[in-house]
Amino acid sequence: MNVFLRELNAYRKSTVIWCASLSAILLIFMSLYPAFTNDVTAAKQVLEQFPETLRTALNISLSSFFTIYGFYGYLLSFAILAGSIQAMNIGTGIISKEVSGKTADFLLSKPMTRAQVVSAKLAAALTIIVITNVVFAGVSYLVALMVATEKFAAGTLFLLASTMFLVQLIFLALGALFAVLIPKIKSVIAVSMPTVFTLYIIGTLGDVLGNDKVRYLSPFKFFDTTYIIKNVSLEGKFLAIEAAIVVVAVAASYIIYIKKDVRASA
């Protein structure tokens, strides 16, 4: 419990900043929704002039863009990108900082098993991600209430919002795995940004090339907003892939961390 609380406290400021930033993105972007829906025809004509590949790359679907779900889903793809960086930063940082900060000697010479240390840290990381998502989903709902020009189902909106949590879980688990695999991580950002952006670009390229199989390679494409809006559910096979990735990455993180030698910090 002490490690868990210590980590929550250590990440308090950054969690507040991430929550505020994601909320600000929501507010600013969603406030544009009424402007787009005031004259759908004109806005549609402008967007139609964009090359289709560009629209695909930007994740703009003309059939749903002018609905509250579609507009929110478009924004969500960028929020998920940002949220993924947050999750990977935490997943990588919360484990690796004891080595990079040379505090591993202090922590691991205390009467705790390494599994307990990892559990406490991952629990804290998960709590931070949950807090971020609760705030994000709550602000999403409130902003949607403010700007929506038509009635909408809160359940669908929350289901869309939940995809950020699901993608973040993957990056949290990958971050933890990278933290135990890479011997000395000097900069968390140097690990998280290339990973997140590489997977994001892979997903976007798959869309542009029209290759549906690429969806399996990029977590950003696991949960398709069009599918969610249409079916009010998530795709089961991708939920299973997500669960497999998270379980394997977390289990591997435990095993490697438990077996790892902590070399002298000097």
Partner 1 sequence: MNVIETTKLTKYYGKSRGIVDVDMTVTEGEIYGFIGPNGAGKSTTIRTLLGLIHPTSGSATIFGKDVTTSGPAIREEVGYLPSEVFYYDDMRVIDLLRYSASFYKKDRKAIEQRIKHLAELFDLDLKKKIDDLSYGNKKKVGIIQGLAHEPKLIILDEPTGGLDPLIQQQFFHLLKEENEKGATILFSSHILSEVQKLCDRVAIIKDGSIIKVEQIKTLLENSTKRFKLELVNMPDASAFAIEGVSDLALVNHSVSFLYRGRINEITKMLAGQDLIDFLVEEPDLEEIFMHYYQKEDVQ
In 3D, which of 25, 22, 34, 23 has the Cα closest to residue 148? 34
- SS3 of residue 94 by DSSP: helix
34-39: long-range contacts (C-beta < 8 A, 24 or more apart)?
A: 34/147, 34/149, 36/65, 36/66, 36/71, 37/66, 37/149
Output the smallest distance, CB 93 to partner 1, in A: 13
Q: Mask of contacts with partner 1, 92-121, x by CB under 8 A?
A: ---------xxxxxx-xxxxxx--x-----
Nearest to partner 1 of 98, 242 (CB atom) = 98
In 3D, which of 149, 25, 1, 6 has the Cα closest to residue 86? 25
Task: Give the total of residues touching partner 1 (CB under 8 A).
Answer: 23
Residue 265 is a binding residue for partner 1 (CB under 8 A): yes
Output the smallest distance, CB 183 to partner 1, in A: 12
The span from the first CA to the last CA of the chain, in angstroms, equals 29
Among 27, 47, 205, 262, binds partner 1 (CB under 8 A): 262
Residue 2 is a binding residue for partner 1 (CB under 8 A): yes
Nearest to partner 1 of 125, 164 (CB atom) = 125
Nearest to partner 1 of 113, 233 (CB atom) = 113
Are 167 and 83 within 8 A, CB to CB?
Answer: yes
Question: Residue numbers of the site for partner 1 (CB under 8 A)?
Answer: 2, 6, 10, 101-106, 108-113, 116, 259, 261-266
